[in-house]
């Protein structure tokens, strides 16, 4: 099948996320990177394009030049989808321009800087009917998809409690180091990161996994955030209480200052019949707990899994898969949508998930600023 021509904004030399997106697009084998704007420094962008084997003529100085150059080409030769892997503040203006020019979009999270921007993008996507995929990568793991299906089938009975946690420790050495190191981290600057660091960067992943796996929407939240150290403008640690309805409650705990933690994202959904637990650092195992039955372990590439999980593994059983493969599953679903093929809802997070994420982030920040009060999403 003919590969989908892809462009990329950002993601040049040294960019982990850009590299992850390129690897994922290659793993799913549906895309070909043919052009883009890879760095704010055009000379570096050209050097990167050369390194990737991309024609210099398809390496553009700006997003405006990319749109102009690609629209000047015959329809069959143009970039079809653009992957946006820049710092947060640039997601909205670039996504808006790309969509209005008629290109599909894959965008890193958080989708925008404000709720209003997120809702504007949702409106544009609705009007253009273009595909918009938001890369909440963890939704691409086979066992998260198995978790989603088991919950949807009612395997857990009535859901009674939901807990999610995302702990990292990477920023400890930075905030306790020199001022110059702090100034070099864009995630600590509201102009580039937005209203939140910890909750905007990792807490929103926990929020997204809760709504993705359970099919439920959080109704209201109460948050308690901390910058941890004087002089830091954004939150680096926090706890968020969740209400889903009259009797169902939950919690999100997130931190970037848990010394020694790497990427400790976990989710647990507790039901009246059984419970499910999953950990991102050991993603091939989904544990089902019960008061009346033996603990069960689900793993990818086995016939006992549901169809969604089974179509999401890329390796035979016993071969570990990780973050690149999970992201590749999102790209695979995006490719099906772009081609007009049938796909399963949930194969890729949509613009609506981006709106929900922005409402979560801003409600969390507002709740904390107002003295830890309940706020409706």
Phi first, then psi, for residue 291 (nearest 5°) are -75, -20
Q: Is 85 helix (H, G, I), strand (E, B) or coil?
A: strand
Cα gap 186→75, rounded to integer Å:
37
Let me know: does 234 contact 188? Beta carbons within 8 Å: yes
List the end-to-end C-alpha distance of the chain, in Å, as a whole number: 43
pLDDT grade for 185, boundaries at 50, 70 and 90: confident
Structure tokens at 256: 């970037």
DSSP for 232-265, written as a single string: --S-SEEEEEEE-SSS-EEEEEEES--TT--SEE
Let me know: does 175 contact 236? Beta carbons within 8 Å: yes
**pTM score of the predicted model:** 0.94
Phi first, then psi, for residue 290 (nearest 5°) are -150, 150
Domain ranges of the chain: 4-138, 142-306+351-369
- The CATH number assigned to the domain with range 4-138 reads 3.40.50.720
What is the tens place of the pLDDT at every residue in 331-348? 999 999 999 999 999 999
Which ranges of the chain would DSSP assign to H, the alpha helix? 16-28, 42-52, 63-71, 91-100, 115-128, 142-152, 172-175, 179-183, 190-193, 198, 204-214, 307-310, 323-338, 351-369
User: Does residue 178 register a pLDDT over 80?
Assistant: no
Closest to 59 (Cα-Cα) out of 85, 35, 29: 35
Q: In degrees to the nearest 10, what's the CA dihedral of 8, 13, 14, 17?
A: 10
* For residues 87-94, average pLDDT: 95
Cα gap 202→166, rounded to integer Å:
7
What is the tens place of the pLDDT at every residue in 129-145? 999 999 999 999 999 99
Burial tier of 263 (Cβ tally within 10 Å: 0-12, 13-18, 19+): middle
- The CATH number assigned to the domain with range 142-306+351-369 reads 3.30.360.10
């Amino acid at each position: 099948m003919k590969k989908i021509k892809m462009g990329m904004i950002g993601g040049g030399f040294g960019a982990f996320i850009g590299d992850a997106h390129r690897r994922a697009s290659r793993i799913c084998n549906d895309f070909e990177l043919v052009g883009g704007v890879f760095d704010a420094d055009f000379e570096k962008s050209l050097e990167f394009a050369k390194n990737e084997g991309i024609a210099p003529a398809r390496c553009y100085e700006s997003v405006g030049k990319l749109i102009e150059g690609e629209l000047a080409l015959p329809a069959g030769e143009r970039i079809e989808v653009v992957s946006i892997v820049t710092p947060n503040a640039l997601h909205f203006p670039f996504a808006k321009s790309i969509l209005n020019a008629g290109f599909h979009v894959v965008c890193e999270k958080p989708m925008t800087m404000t709720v209003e921007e997120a809702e504007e993008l949702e409106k544009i996507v609705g009007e253009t009917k273009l595909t918009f995929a938001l890369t909440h990568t963890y939704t691409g793991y086979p066992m998260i998809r198995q978790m989603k299906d088991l919950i949807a089938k009612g395997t857990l009975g009535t859901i009674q409690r939901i807990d999610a946690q995302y702990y990292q420790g990477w920023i400890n050495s930075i905030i306790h180091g020199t001022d110059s190191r702090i100034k070099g981290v864009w995630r600590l600057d509201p102009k580039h990161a937005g209203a939140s660091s910890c909750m905007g960067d990792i807490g929103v992943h926990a929020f997204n996994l809760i709504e993705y796996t359970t099919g439920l929407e959080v109704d209201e939240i109460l948050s308690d955030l901390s910058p941890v150290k004087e002089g830091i403008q954004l939150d680096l640690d926090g706890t968020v209480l969740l209400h889903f309805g009259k009797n169902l409650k939950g919690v999100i705990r997130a931190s970037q200052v848990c010394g020694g933690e790497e990427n400790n994202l976990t989710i647990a959904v507790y039901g009246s019949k059984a419970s499910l637990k999953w950990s991102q650092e050991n993603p091939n195992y989904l544990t089902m707990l019960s008061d009346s039955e033996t603990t069960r372990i689900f793993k990818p590439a086995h016939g006992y899994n549901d169809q969604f999980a089974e179509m999401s593994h890329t390796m035979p059983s016993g071969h570990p898969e990780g973050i690149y493969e999970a992201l590749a599953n999102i790209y695979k679903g995006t490719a099906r949508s772009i081609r007009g093929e049938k796909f399963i809802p949930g194969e890729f997070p949509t613009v609506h998930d981006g709106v929900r994420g922005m409402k979560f982030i801003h409600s969390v920040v507002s709740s904390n600023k107002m003295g830890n009060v309940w706020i409706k999403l």
